[in-house]
Structure 1
Amino acid sequence: MDAKRGIEVIRADDFVEYFLFPSLDQLNGDNTAEKLENFRQNVNDSVQQFTVDYIWHKEPFQLVIRTPETARLFNECKIQDDLPPHLYGLTFYGENIQDEWYIVEIINHLTKIYPHVIGRIFDADGEFLLIEAADVLPGWANPDTCAQRVFMHNGRIIIVQNETTECETNAVLPVSVGLKRIREDVNLYESDAIMKCIEQRFVGTKKSTLLHRACIYLPISAALLLKQNPQLISYAVRAFCNRDEIDMKLCRAMKHFPPETRVFTQVTFTKCLYALLTYHNYKPSHRTGWNLPNEKSNTFTAHNLGMKIACGLEICASKVQNEQNDVENSKEWQIFTGQLKQNGYFGDAIEGSQEYTKRLDTAKQYFRILSQNHSTYIDAVAREIHEHLKDMSTLNEQFNDDILFDYDASLNDSEDWMNISQEDFDNMMTERYGIKKTLRCNTDETENDSSDLGMNLNTFLTQKSEFDGVDFRPLLKEESTGPTASSITQNTGNIDFNPDAFQAHLKDMLDFVIPEDNWDSHSDSMSDFDEENIERNIDITNPNTAATLSAYMEQMDRELAATTIGSSFKTNANASNMEDDEDFDDIESFEPVDIDVNAMKNLAESYKAQFGNHGPTSSLLSSLGVRLNTDKSSSTNDKP
């Protein structure tokens, strides 16, 4: 990993890393370690209250203390930034992206209740907060100018801007420098529009809408375990969905959760977990005792899902026998400690000494949280399952009222959210990306819509394309809070240089005018075509180029004259400005081509040819904020 990436240590596409930088002066304790530990406990208590009843898909929100000494544990990345002591966390959210946004909400919440704390969060995509708010960012904000400059403070998204004295506008800003500027309130940018985009992804009071409840037929030990710790459902579902051949052998034995003890109970899933479990097919062995009813039975889903959950819990419980409980006996730990020794983590400390043991214990703590496969979580789950299985009588007394002996369909939530129609999908896309207008095809109002589409297409074609693509946002006044390389704040005595304007003026001075097709901006604008301008521009170019262009035009006219392509264009027989068509008086019954209607027709035909799939037309129109609505009852010969 490039050293200038700073503190980013990403191991996969679905990891998220987060930091909490407190002001040590605001913390209680005799030394830095004690202050951070007290602060971590307070944060964990706040997070526990904030995340009550939330089911994590893979791993929960977690924090460890990180100081300059422990930073050397991150041997994968040679960090060139002297970070102040802080709390660090890394979470693998798996298939459920909602967990990542919930962590963003947690960090935002913590910066509100602890005003002295500055938060930072990123994932494999980098500054994904700005990606979410891309449509409302100022013009100077891009991945280069915002690298390592995005923080959270007092419940707000803060972007640390460049100082006017900095030589390299796009230089990666050290995080320590960014923290200092935030505390000093120097060159900061924040926007209500950015915060609104981020808050739309927050869970907040919508946590209940992410859950799905169902009446399941489970072994009684499994039912009691899920009542005692609802978070176990995520481990059970993922263990079942990620099973291998060795796990399948465990499911045939069912040592810990025999199917003969099944009872009905209501189980709470996240919608993501429920969908994963539902669409994973598995036919159990009849010798195990799984007597599933007919698929048409109203209790089949309860039996089928209960069997899958019990198998998942069986796999989890068996891991304690297959995985080494002691960290020192794992192969990964041996490799990890070897790398620490190579990087000089233990320094001059002698093996077995107090200093060596202290550093070794710290390394173990980090290894449990930052190891790539995170197998220690499986061990913890397995040990918890075994501890509760030893004391089932206590759980039975505690949750006896939640055990049902008859199937109750009223406990099932509706599964309509799993079936999305094309109309529902279009509405979701419209709500997400804000389609501005729906253009109609094969209707009497096509003429008006084609005119609107023509204006949108011309606007699109006249946009300036940079290396990053075309910017569809309207031109905005330059924001004084966003200095760039070509604009300096006023009253500094420096020159305000605009390279685009300079280039335009230079072209005008040289009279190097390239003809622009703005004459076809409207359906009746063919009459605005100025042939003299074209001829003048051809004459001032290289004579050889002018001759070649004229030859091409003549050859094209001869080839097209022998075809029927001209009759395929829609014309405007009722053109209102016929007096402007003097150049075509020698042509009998001349009718100018309606360019907008023809563009509408061609786009509609291309859209229909996509058969509802993604294609060039839908990509172009979606960029313009437009959606075509075709009338299926109309034939292809109808008016476009």
Structure 2
Amino acid sequence: MADPQRGAGEAGGRHEQNAPDLRENCVEYSIFLVDANASNDPLKQLSRLDDLRKTALQLANSLTADYIWQKGLFTLDVVTEQGNSFLRGITDYGDSIEDEWLIVYILREFSKVQPTAWIRVYDADGEFLLIEAANVLPKWLSPETDQNRVWINNGRLRIIPHTTEDGTKTRLLALSDALRVIKSTSDSLLHSEFIEAEAFYRLEKYPGHIHKSIHHSLVTIPRRLVHVLRQTPKAVAPAVESFYLRDALDLNTLLSSKKSHTFPPVDLVTVSVKFTRVLFAQLRSQRFEPPAPWAGIIQRVKGVEHTHLEMGMKLTCGFEIMLNNVDKADSREARAASIIVQDLEEDGDSVLPTDEQIRSWRDAGRDDDESWMDINYEDFERELSGRQGGTESQPNPSFGDATTQADLRKIVSRFEAFLNDENAGLDGAEIDEMDIDDDDDDGSEGMESDEDDEDEDKAVSFDEAEFSRMMREMMGLAPIELDVHDVPSKSPAARENTKAIGRDEEPDGDDLRKLTAELEAELNEHGALKLDQPRDRALTQKGKGKGSGPESSNDDEEADDEVDIDYNLAKNLLESFKGQGGMPGPAGNILGMMGLQLPRDEDDDAGEGKKKR
């Protein structure tokens, strides 16, 4: 049976192609049994692989018993390709990148209890573990050479080194060759603590993050839906996805007055429903006009009851869409919910839970705090600097969780390192060999353009220090104070060339200064160069409190200056990224070069039910 998560024309040699046909938002993982003492009998090998499969699934179930997968589950099957029998699984993690890292955590924990298991994991981007560790990788390890080289064994990240036998640096390592190296000389594989720490950085929050990612919220829904959710609580995932990805046909189903709905808005009950944070954010952030049967009910309530009813309306509509398309669904939970609905039609409303029964359920009235969805810029500024705000008697809550704080500081530190790179010259960013286009299509035309470019370069004078200063001002960084004696002197030829250019091109210098002034004026108009806003606010707040000695005042001002640098840098980066509107842009490109990816942001004024802090 063909796997729907694979490309239609895929052949068997998938490991040789670094997953080119793997569908986006899918992660694939393979487990190979490498044991020198194992029997060569194929039947015994298959039996042992099946035992390993059961052990891995039991471990996954024990770790994720109460977890709600966004789309696909952790799964393993015994397969045979090119004479190799192994376990393979593919999971569609949808919009929840955390599901992908949870799978990596499960695989790493499994490798600790099965030392003879060698595990590969990759997605549509290839070896994404190496993408996380891009800053500490050796130069020879690139997307053109990493196929079948990265393995997880006994809880560690192991890398098959490049040898002279591999031929050219861009030669792909075949899976059979990789397994041969592991079987014969497994001790030769590289194990770097630096690479491993970066690659497994996101795993530090597990297993505690599995429970922290769950969010309970009170919603008002029909009693019939309460019964279905009680039987299949994890069906909330395909229901939210159905609502989140609704199309015109789905809306016609909801708005049609002729079609009878499975869950009409009658006999409504307020009950706590378990989501993941991703599912809850998807449902909460959606703007949706209530269908006619719900409109009158929602308009009659206000405040918290309105929020509960609106969330319940969205969830109910999601279940309506999901059940209407259940024949095309590939979700086990969606099919299970459909069976529950069919049984309910046969048994009648007598099986529905009463109010007393609902109140007796565990977490029936639980309503978790939603402040993790909000951003307070004062906390944002404080967390960037690593300082604790507030006083001992009145502590301030932290901005986000520990992972958010670490990621935020990593953005700032990497960008500062990017701008402060003393090894970078006029040639700009270094380009790997794999990125060089060696096509000869343009031929002589390219040679002519190169000659023209050389002539133009001779007539251009570029002030690197001035450009760096302007760049740092735009991004909110403090200027670098350079000692005159530290600046390398130009050669006599360069000085003479510069003087000649200065005499001949004075009008162009005036135009450049005029253009720079206009650019600076425009940036000031939009507030890009206003670096004193956080400090002004901090000084104003300090002015309202009790006075302190001159020494403490000076210390506070120095600390505020440090905060302003990081605050403005991060704030300008985030605003620039948001201004791209989901399209490619400078902020996204620069962060991508540093191995950082930011999620999309909703509109500033989206969601009238958001809590304000």
TM-score (norm 2): 0.62
Match of 1:40 in 2: 53
Match of 1:499 in 2: none
- Deviation for aligned residue 1:313: 1.8
Q: Is the 8 A contact 1:319 1:378 kept in 2?
A: no
The answer to whether the aligner puts 1:411 opposite 2:369 as a matched pair is: no
SS in 1 for 2:151: strand
Aligned length: 456
Distance in 1 between the 2:568 and 2:202 partners? 37
The code of the aligned residue for 2:32 comes to F
Unpaired runs of at least 5, structure 1: 69-81, 324-372, 439-451, 470-515, 539-545, 569-603, 626-640
The code of the aligned residue for 2:126 comes to G
Cα separation, partners in 2 of 1:148 and 1:421, compared to 1, 3 Å: farther
Q: How does 1:628-639 map to 2 (within 5 A)?
A: none
| Residue-by-residue CA offset, 1:207-254 (whole Å, 9 max, x unaligned) | 222121111112222212222322111011111222234433443545
- Deviation for aligned residue 1:294: 4.2
Cα separation, partners in 2 of 1:90 and 1:290, compared to 1, 3 Å: farther
Q: Is the 8 A contact 1:221 1:392 kept in 2?
A: no
The code of the aligned residue for 1:525 comes to V
Equivalent of 1:292 in 298, 303, 307: 298
Q: Which one has the largest radius of gyration? A: 1
- Deviation for aligned residue 1:409: 11
The code of the aligned residue for 1:126 comes to G
- Deviation for aligned residue 1:421: 3.8
The answer to whether the aligner puts 1:215 opposite 2:218 as a matched pair is: yes
Q: Is the 8 A contact 1:149 1:173 kept in 2?
A: yes
The answer to whether the aligner puts 1:15 opposite 2:21 as a matched pair is: no
The code of the aligned residue for 1:174 comes to A
Distance in 2 between the 1:608 and 1:37 partners? 52
The code of the aligned residue for 1:301 comes to T
Distance in 2 between the 1:310 and 1:456 partners? 53
Q: How does 1:326-405 map to 2 (within 5 A)?
A: 374=330, 378-379=334-335, 382-383=338-339, 385-387=341-343, 403-404=358-359
Match of 1:85 in 2: 85
Q: Is the 8 A contact 2:18 2:147 kept in 1?
A: no
Q: How does 1:590-609 map to 2 (within 5 A)?
A: none
Match of 2:67 in 1: 54
The code of the aligned residue for 1:58 comes to K
Match of 2:202 in 1: 201
- Deviation for aligned residue 1:607: 11
Cα separation, partners in 2 of 1:413 and 1:46, compared to 1, 3 Å: same
Distance in 2 between the 1:454 and 1:91 partners? 35
Q: How does 1:413-562 map to 2 (within 5 A)?
A: 413-422=368-377, 427=384, 431-432=406-407, 434=409, 456=420, 458-461=422-425, 465-468=429-432, 523-525=482-484, 533-535=491-493, 551-556=500-505
Distance in 2 between the 1:300 and 1:560 partners? 63
| Residue-by-residue CA offset, 1:493-538 (whole Å, 9 max, x unaligned) | xxxxxxxxxxxxxxxxxxxxxxx999x996442697757x414x78
Match of 1:118 in 2: 118
- Deviation for aligned residue 1:99: 0.7
Distance in 2 between the 1:617 and 1:45 partners? 43
Distance in 1 between the 2:319 and 2:280 partners? 15
The code of the aligned residue for 2:79 comes to R
- Deviation for aligned residue 1:423: 5.4
The answer to whether the aligner puts 1:248 opposite 2:211 as a matched pair is: no
The answer to whether the aligner puts 1:108 opposite 2:111 as a matched pair is: no
Equivalent of 1:302 in 308, 319, 338: 308
SS in 1 for 2:173: coil
The code of the aligned residue for 2:368 comes to D
Match of 1:238 in 2: 241
The code of the aligned residue for 2:273 comes to V
Distance in 1 between the 2:305 and 2:138 partners? 56
Cα separation, partners in 2 of 1:225 and 1:113, compared to 1, 3 Å: farther
| Residue-by-residue CA offset, 1:529-565 (whole Å, 9 max, x unaligned) | 757x414x78xxxxxxx8x876434324687699999
SS in 1 for 2:89: strand
Match of 1:635 in 2: none
Q: How does 1:114-193 map to 2 (within 5 A)?
A: 114-183=114-183, 184-193=185-194
Match of 1:342 in 2: none
Cα separation, partners in 2 of 1:13 and 1:464, compared to 1, 3 Å: same
SS in 1 for 2:270: strand
SS in 1 for 2:106: helix
Distance in 1 between the 2:215 and 2:570 partners? 38
Once the two structures are aligned, what percentage of the paired residues are identical? 26
The answer to whether the aligner puts 1:613 opposite 2:576 as a matched pair is: yes
Equivalent of 2:324 in 318, 328, 331: 318
Distance in 1 between the 2:594 and 2:87 partners? 44
SS in 2 for 1:231: helix
- Deviation for aligned residue 1:276: 1.0
SS in 2 for 1:53: coil
The code of the aligned residue for 1:266 comes to S
SS in 1 for 2:30: strand
Over aligned residues, Cα RMSD in angstroms? 4.8
Unpaired runs of at least 5, structure 2: 1-9, 385-399, 434-462, 469-479, 518-566, 578-584, 596-613
Q: Is the 8 A contact 1:259 1:290 kept in 2?
A: no
- Deviation for aligned residue 1:57: 0.6
The code of the aligned residue for 1:413 comes to D
Distance in 1 between the 2:350 and 2:83 partners? 48
Distance in 1 between the 2:246 and 2:156 partners? 42
Distance in 2 between the 1:268 and 1:295 partners? 24
- Deviation for aligned residue 1:272: 0.9
Deviates more, 1:521-530 or 1:252-261: 521-530
Deviates more, 1:271-280 or 1:5-14: 5-14
Distance in 2 between the 1:254 and 1:301 partners? 26
Distance in 1 between the 2:181 and 2:236 partners? 44
